[in-house]
Homo-oligomer: A and B are copies of this chain.
Amino acid sequence: MADFKLMRMLNQKNKKKIVLLVLDGLGGIPMSPGGLTALEKAATPNMDILASDGSLGQIITVRPGITPGSGPAHLSLFGYDPVQFEVGRGVLESTGIGMKINAGDVAARGNFCTVDKDGLITDRRAGRIPTEEAKPVCDKLNNISLPGVSIEVRPVKEYRFAVVIRGDGLEAEINDTDPQKTGVETLPAVAREPGSQKAADIYNEWLKKAREVLKDEPKANACTLRGFSTDPGLPQFDEAYGLTAACIAVYPMYKGVSALVGMDVETFAGDQPTDEFAEASRIWDQYDFFFIHIKKTDSYGEDGNMDAKIRVIESVDQALPELKTLKPDVLAITGDHSTPCKMKSHSWHPVPFLLWAPDTIRSDEQSKFGEKWCAMGNLGTFPGTDILPLLLGHADKLKKFGA
């Protein structure tokens, strides 16, 4: 893990700019042994120039053999050991849509569901009602009030919402109320620790009132709650690394993790790499550090669609000159985990990593960006949590240690 004490001791300010460009689920494996991965197959002339001049390596974001979820994987990219710093799904989801989670608040992720006249679940996702339909339902939930706490509900996407309660003496060791199957009733919120009893009681009271206000909804006539969690207290980017940092991402989860480490989450139009790079250009003078997140590489990996994954990688490559015109001092291109099309899921395989920094780079023998070449690159195989110190070093943002 990044040694925060050392980082704080050594960090120094300057005007150099760092870009961390993350293609979600970038790593892959060949469809059959001996073949090529999506990244190895993709035509990436711009990345290959960077690879040729720069340094390659591969990263492990959680532990060898462990398949990372997206939250833990991004914590690692940002320098936080995800085994040490656990961030609950409720906090990730609510932070991702811009809700502020302070120490002592308890956040949960909600799902609308459909129950029959006996209270048995018939659809765990309420017919996947569209976001527009879910918004007025969330408004109804926002009318619920309980003594001694404030409660905030916000829609996330489709049948998903977030609910945060704020008050004194609240803890979040509470089991999910989603039974994970149909034909049964929703579960009560059960505290796993005595300290969480108060929050569990409040959430149960809230769930009871929610059933009343939702009872006439055609689909979303009930709800379940998951991922009860509190502020994980992550060291913040500014004080830990001395960085002002911006997050340029389209999906809520990634905005959530970024907000939790103290990045400013940008709002912009469009969802293509060119849109994201244009946003970086717009705010270029305001920040030291830019986290840019591309989602679709992972999505197509999960679909098992190698051609589409290749096209996304190529679209990022084609847009790359736009990013280079900004003249970043340090540019890293990597993923948060592998999502091999063959496996249609996240995997534990190390993730290719490319580092380019015109003033300080040491070139290796590799000239193309891809898993097999990264494995022979001069950065070796290293933990994701070492990335931030490495980028800071190349940006001359860390003083010499000792005389």
Contacts and interface: CB of A to CB of B under 8 A. Distances in A.
Interface residues of A, number: 74
A69 B346 contact: no
B67 A400 contact: yes
Interface in A1-53: 3, 6, 10, 28-30, 33-35, 37, 52-53
A328 to B, nearest CB: 14
Interface stretch (A162-170, A288-296, A370-378): A370-378
A401 B29 contact: no
A363 B37 CA distance: 9
B35 A363 contact: yes
Contact of A393 (B30, B34, B66, B382): B66
This chain's copy number in the assembly: 2
A83 to B, nearest CB: 6
Interface stretch (A57-65, A131-139, A141-149, A273-281): A57-65
A65 B34 contact: no
A389 B3 contact: no
Nearest to A361: B33
Contacts of A394: 65
A72 B402 contact: yes
Nearest to A86: B402
A364 B360 contact: no
Contacts of A66: 6, 10, 389, 393, 398, 401
Given A83-B3, A378-B372, A381-B382, A400 B34 contact: no
A71 B72 CA distance: 35
A29 B343 CA distance: 39
A304 to B, nearest CB: 14
